[in-house]
Amino acid sequence: LFPALRTAWLVVPIKQIEHFRQQASLMPCSVPLLWQHTLADFIRDGHFWRHLKKMRQHYAQRRLWIEEALAEQGFVVTLQKGGIQLVIEVEGDDKAQVAKANQAGLAVQALSRWRVVSSGKGGILLSFTNITSAGMAKQVAWQLRQVIR
């Protein structure tokens, strides 16, 4: 949820609830009870879900900016639902292309690094959480095009 809170939750199958409760009782809890109750109230009262809805809208705009900017530069973005990263399709060795992009100051990753099997089409994994404007998205897409031809 938020690293400083040192708190999380699990959604488990109903048949497993008792097992998880037993396991949780064996673990020390470093989160004060007041914080736990406050977080429970925050979630129960709908504040967390409103926050998630706001963030989805917020990041949807950022995603749109970068998708449009990448398309203007001739990149093809793999369609996917959700997430805070997108995949740009590339031909050839995605690791080599990512190395050039990293040297140019772009924080991207090779899709092939995340594969269990080494076969498949290459791609560039790009986060859009730090894109704050359409202009910034255009600059990032232009920079990427300069190093990936």
Per-10-residue mean pLDDT, the chain, length 149:
73 93 84 87 94 92 96 93 90 93 95 82 93 97 94
Q: Which domains does the chain have, with CATH numbers?
A: 64-147 (3.90.1150.10)
Global pTM reads: 0.74
| pLDDT at res. 24 | 84
Q: In what order do the strands lie in the sheet with 108-110?
A: 76-78, 85-89, 123-127, 108-110
Please name the residues in contact with 86: beta carbons below 8 A apart, sequence gap of 6 or more: 63, 66, 67, 77, 78, 80, 125, 126, 128
| pLDDT at res. 4 | 74
